[in-house]
């Protein structure tokens, strides 16, 4: 969980850094605002895609672990039933 927070923090930090860089660039306010809006949308799409991929992977792994636990529980129950008979 710690690495996930680090990666998310790094992405947010990079996005903020780019935004600050755009703000201090010597261009008209209107051009700068358009760039900020465009880049913000791009970063939001990128982060959303990465989070969706992360959660899809996490969901699959949780499902796999759950299936394995079910198999082990059934096997243990069968062994208990075998011993008690």
For residue range 32-70, list pLDDT tens digits in order: 778 778 888 888 888 888 888 989 999 999 999 999 999
Hey, what are 2's tokens?
């710690």
Domain that holds residue 11: 2-84
* Nearest partner of 15 among 1, 33, 36, judged by Cα: 36
For residue range 11-35, list pLDDT tens digits in order: 888 888 877 877 777 777 787 778 7
| Rounded Cα distance, 63 and 57, in Å | 10
Q: Are 22 and 36 in contact (CB under 8 A)?
A: yes
Query: Whole-prediction pTM value?
Result: 0.50
- Domain count of the fold of the chain: 1
């Amino acid at each position: 969980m710690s690495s996930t927070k680090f990666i998310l923090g790094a992405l947010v930090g990079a996005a903020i850094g780019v935004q600050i860089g755009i703000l201090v660039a010597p261009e008209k306010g209107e051009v700068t605002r358009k760039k900020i809006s465009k880049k913000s949308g791009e970063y939001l799409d990128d982060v959303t895609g990465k989070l969706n991929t992360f959660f899809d992977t996490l969901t699959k792994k949780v499902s796999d672990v759950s299936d394995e636990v079910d198999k082990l529980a059934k096997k243990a129950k069968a062994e208990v039933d075998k011993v008690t008979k």
